[in-house]
A and B are shown apart, each in its own frame.
Chain A
Amino acid sequence: MQQVFKRPISLKDVQTHFCPGCHHGTIHRLVAEALDEFGVQGRTIGVASVGCSVFLYGYFDIDVVEAPHGRASAVATGVKRARPDNFVFTYQGDGDLAAIGTAEIIHAANRGEDITVIFVNNTTYGMTGGQMAPTTLVGQKTSTSPYGRNQHKDGAPIRMAELLAQLEGVAFSARVAVNNPKNIIDAKRQFKKAFRYQVEGKGFSFIEALSACPTNWGMNAIAANERVGSEMADYFKLGVFKNTDNM
């Protein structure tokens, strides 16, 4: 018998702090598999953000810089410019990238920095206790929108993948989900495409991954997983929004 599924080499064999059913673990694995695929583990510098993704350095067997809240793409810009031969990616949540770090991500994307940004969208601030994020769906109850998000007062959720795809500097922008095996296999393909852009020096690549947050949504893992495929994927359409190379 041969082993047909094993842990990627770039992913440390440790227990994660993620809640049961949290999709961060799956997204971590897909990133690690893509790193293995391109054989860049030894020259990769990850940039971690603030949020549940903060322990990136504990889970990936690569070098990691911890950025201040929202500033991961600005930090990654500096890292990549100082060390252009290294593979540089950021891993940020929606509270980090789409709220506190909006200026940083838009300008890094617009400059067309040769980095890869992985954006995990779970429609809430996970680590700090489930507050409303710019990506929170209309009507969604969070600890700071107890009656549900009100579009007139709070605006509609931001679609980052589409927004960034409009910028000249962006080479690749896609949205994926990891709520069922089909989507996971598709996500795997998109992660590899995004990484290839940087490996070949073709510019800024962006991947938004829809993720469940069972704890802050007040659901069990199965129901939260179901919500990703229904309510979330309804508003945040999956797909590739920009692919300059048509790979």
Chain B
Amino acid sequence: MAKIVIDEIRCKGCGLCTLACHGKLLSLSEKINIQGYTPAAITFPEKCTGCALCAEMCPDVAITVFK
């Protein structure tokens, strides 16, 4: 059981985390955050393995990982 939490306010929607996720679980959402960007979101949270590669890749340290 693993879980990631994306800080939707901090996320700048660069999409680099989507490249890092082996399971292709991350994508950019449609909604716009307070900065004017479309933050990343996880599609199938139950499939997350908690590898933390998305968090390693995030330039804004907007992802926290629990395992």
- On A, residues with C-beta under 8 Å from B are 1-7, 11, 15-16, 18-26, 29, 180-181, 184-185, 214, 220-222, 225
Contacts and interface: CB of A to CB of B under 8 A. Distances in A.
A24 B59 contact: yes
Contacts of B55: 5
A19 B55 CA distance: 18
A101 to B, nearest CB: 25
Contact of A25 (B13, B19, B53, B60): B60
Given A180-B20, A221-B15, A225-B16, A26 B66 contact: no
Nearest to B60: A25
B32 interface: no
Contact of A20 (B13, B20, B56, B65): B13
Given A1-B3, A1-B67, A20-B37, A181 B57 contact: yes
A25 B56 contact: no
A21 B16 contact: yes
A20 B58 CA distance: 10
B60 A5 contact: no
A202 B1 CA distance: 44
Contacts of B12: 19-21
A18 B59 contact: yes
Contacts of B15: 21, 220-222
**Prevailing SS type, chain B contact patch:** loop
A185 B35 CA distance: 29
Interface in B14-66: 14-16, 19-20, 35, 37, 50, 52-53, 55-61, 63-66
Given A15-B35, A181-B53, 12 more contacts: A1-B1, A5-B56, A6-B64, A15-B60, A18-B59, A21-B15, A22-B59, A25-B60, A26-B57, A181-B57, A214-B14, A221-B16
Contact of B61 (A7, A21, A181): A7
Residues of B in contact with A, size category: 20 to 34
B59 A25 contact: yes
A16 B63 CA distance: 15
Q: Which residue among B2, B3, B55 has the maximum number of chain A CB atoms within 10 Å of its CB? A: B55
Given A5-B56, A181-B56, A11 B13 contact: no
A181 B63 CA distance: 14
Given A184-B56, A222-B15, A222-B19, A4 B67 contact: yes
Contacts of B53: 181
Contacts of A181: 20, 53, 56-57
Given A21-B14, A181-B20, A1 B59 contact: no
Contact of B52 (A5, A19, A24): A5
A20 B14 contact: yes
B4 to A, nearest CB: 8
A6 B1 CA distance: 18
